[in-house]
Amino acid sequence: MLYSDTRDSSRQVSFRTAVMEGMSHKTGGLYMPVTIPQLSKSLVYRNPVPSFRDIAFETAKLYIEDEIPEGDLMEIIVDAYPFAAPVAPIDRTTYVLELFHGPTCAFKDFGARFMARVMAFFNRDENDPLHILVATSGDTGSAVGSAFHGVPGIDVTILYPTGRISPLQEKQLSTFDENVRALAVSGSFDDCQKLVKTAFTDESLREKLRLSSANSINISRLLPQSFYYIHGALLVHQRSWHDNKIDQPSLIVTVPSGNFGNLTSGLLAKKMGAPIRGFIAATNSNHTIPDWLSSGQYEARPSVATLSNAMDVGAPSNYERIAAMYTVEEARRIMAGYWLDDDGTMEAIRSCYDRTGYIIDPHGAVGWKAWTDTRDGAMSRLLAGFSVPEGMPGLSGGRDIAPEWAADCSAKKCIGMILETAHPAKFGDTVKKAIGREPSIPERLEKVLALPDRSVKMDADYTAFREWLLETL
């Protein structure tokens, strides 16, 4: 399997090179598989549904081929996933894919743990250390730090926007030691991401340091996230008839999105043959992608702070991958865009709890609201010619650009799978304000609260960042 540069398709590299480089240092582009492999029918139609690890192994083999022997790959899968992603039905046509059962209670654990073990495998014969640079808007950094902590031959530097993540998220980021360090950057996530991307294209720096990325810009973090889309979709289809008696339902996956790596993984899963009809790209007031779907024009912008901070991204890196896979016209046929402001997010946490008893985090709440609005009339109104006024939250677009599955939803033939990307305890204050009670906190999160802060303060200045890297690493 070869991987091409999104900015120069003639540049094609091996899986190992794509993983260890992180992104193309020649162009600043991202790596994508040249061809999308297909899942075997025996896997998709197996009854009962294969285990999460089996799906992970069979899917990973297609992308890695002979670059990692099958025995070593199975060891990587087993070690990476002592947990899975269960599906929780919360009403007759709605399922929540719970992605918070890993060590840092966020969906980033699925990609980070696989990536760490793959990188360690490829790095084992190297003499010089590999330096991972990662920008985070919330959960990525802690998942990457946890996944790489104590891994020999690899150092990790996490950049996060100070004051723009929840207190518990900051505790998870700022308390690492040994080979993992955290920089508290005065600025936004976009500032952090710009520092990382600039470092990757700094040839003189790369001559001194072996650099790679652990953001979703790294293909080895993106690909394993497709595992839970495939597994979740198969689980939902297996039980759907018993829940709602809908014959051949259209499964719509609602993805709370910031840097849009998670949604890109879902698009890959669909292309591979996962039984997914379409997607709702759900986000907060940083609605760059819904606006692109609506207008056809991509316009990056400065990010704004919201209650769903992991989605506070104004210039999502993975737009580049989505645009490499689809034209805007093709993307519109598959996905709908939706955005929600903070008031709507608080109301969504309340309404989900009141209607179903399920406690959802602010990111999943955006997904809940997007799905329930879509199935409860918003898509029908869109098809009838009524669109959301410009600048107002809701389902983006108009009748002429509605997705190909829109009529299915109007006919009540859709079922929904919402991605719950983080445990609600990571946003306990927000959840308590919404529903009047705090969510229970897992023991693995509670232990973090007693650890000391070891983060380093940093301005959003590349010269200062570069000097710090050279002095420290």
pLDDT digits (tens, 9 = 90+) for 48-91: 999 999 999 999 999 999 999 999 999 999 999 999 999 999 99
Q: Report which secondary-structure segment, H or E, holds 38.
A: none
What lies within 8 Å, CB to CB, of 220 at 6+ separation is: 15, 18, 19, 111, 114, 115, 118, 119
Backbone angles phi, psi at 390, to 5 degrees: -55, 135
Backbone angle region of 284, left / alpha / beta, with phi > 0 → left and psi within -120 to 50 → alpha: beta
**What's the CA gap between 302 and 161, in Å, rounded?**
13
Could you tell me the CA-to-CA distances from 100 to 17, 106, 109, 237, 360 in Å, in that order?
30, 4, 8, 22, 11
**Higher pLDDT, residue 220 or 23:** 220
Which pLDDT score, from 0 to 100, does residue 408 have? 96
Which pLDDT score, from 0 to 100, does residue 406 have? 96
- 117-146: per-residue pLDDT in tens? 999 999 998 888 999 999 987 678 889 999
Which pLDDT score, from 0 to 100, does residue 212 have? 87
Which amino acid, one-letter code, is at 88? A
- Residue 437's CB is within 10 A of a number of other CB atoms, namely 11
Which pLDDT score, from 0 to 100, does residue 348 have? 98
414-420 and 394-395 as β-strands: parallel, antiparallel, unpaired?
unpaired
- 385-408: per-residue pLDDT in tens? 998 888 899 999 888 889 999 999
Range in 163-167, 309-313, 369-373, 418-422 with the lowest mean pLDDT: 163-167
Q: What pTM value is reported for the model?
A: 0.91
In which band, very low, low, confident or very high, does the pLDDT at 169 lie, cut at 50, 70 and 90?
Answer: confident
Question: Is the bond preceding residue 48 a cis peptide, omega within 30 degrees?
Answer: yes
Starting at the edge strand that comes first in sequence, how are the strands of the sheet with 278-283 ordered?
A: 87-91, 94-98, 414-420, 250-256, 278-283, 335-339, 394-395
Domains and their CATH numbers in the chain = 222-435 (3.40.50.1100)
> 201-225 burial by CB neighbour count: b if 16+ within 10 A, else e?
ebeebeeebbbbbbbbbbbbbbbbb
Q: What is the mean pLDDT of residues 428-456?
A: 93
Which pLDDT score, from 0 to 100, does residue 68 have? 98
**What's the CA gap between 334 and 322, in Å, rounded?**
12
Which amino acid, one-letter code, is at 224? P
**What's the CA gap between 96 and 169, in Å, rounded?**
22
Largest CA distance in the chain: 64
- 236-290: per-residue pLDDT in tens? 999 999 999 999 999 999 999 988 999 999 999 999 999 999 999 999 999 999 9
**What's the CA gap between 354 and 45, in Å, rounded?**
36
